Chains A and B, each alone.
Chain A
């Protein structure tokens, strides 16, 4: 079956611009996660949705970052006034979210964001 997909695969933008990154989770998965990964580092948690609501947004670095999941499926990560330090690979993952089961996270291939 189809895995987690992310678009675009690459995004190059200029400092100060606004960007949107999209994630299509595995169909039926209730939980959706965003992480970002800088070169040579492990992924860093940003935000997690259970259904339409953000269950944990403690990883968002500041108020320039925002994410939505209006219908409980596709999610968009939005970054305002981009800075060069935002350059990273942004990873999305989804899991079944079923109570009592393990619910491994399935990751997409990521969006590589470069801020010039």
Chain B
């Protein structure tokens, strides 16, 4: 699986936007970029995914670089409930829509008042 690189931790103030970066320089043409997050003492939860175009949903936005070697998860207004570990994951679409996720160590986001 292609590897992703994320900062270990980031901090944000509440109500401000947060940009969580992910580098994936060895991404292949069939790799989708997925983001999951894990709140304290819970299992991971899906946030968003994309292939080439930027994506928006109710939780976040995903901005994908033109060369696809990096992406950024954007939380438009961070709240205390967004404090979690955020995982950027690549998954090859050739393995099918139901296949394993390969997690790294993620970025621990701390949100303060």
Contacts and interface: CB of A to CB of B under 8 A. Distances in A.
B113 interface: no
Contacts of A100: 97
Nearest to B32: A102
B104 interface: yes
Contact of A101 (B43, B45, B97, B104): B97
Given A42-B104, A45-B102, A110 B43 contact: yes
Interface residues of A, number: 34
Contacts, number: 63
Contact of A56 (B36, B42, B99): B99
Interface centre among B41, B46, B97, B103 (most CB of A within 10 A): B97
A108 B103 contact: no
A59 B100 contact: yes
A102 B49 contact: yes
Given A44-B103, A102-B49, A30 B43 contact: no
Interface in A100-116: 100-110
Interface stretch (A13-21, A61-69, A74-82, A90-98): A90-98
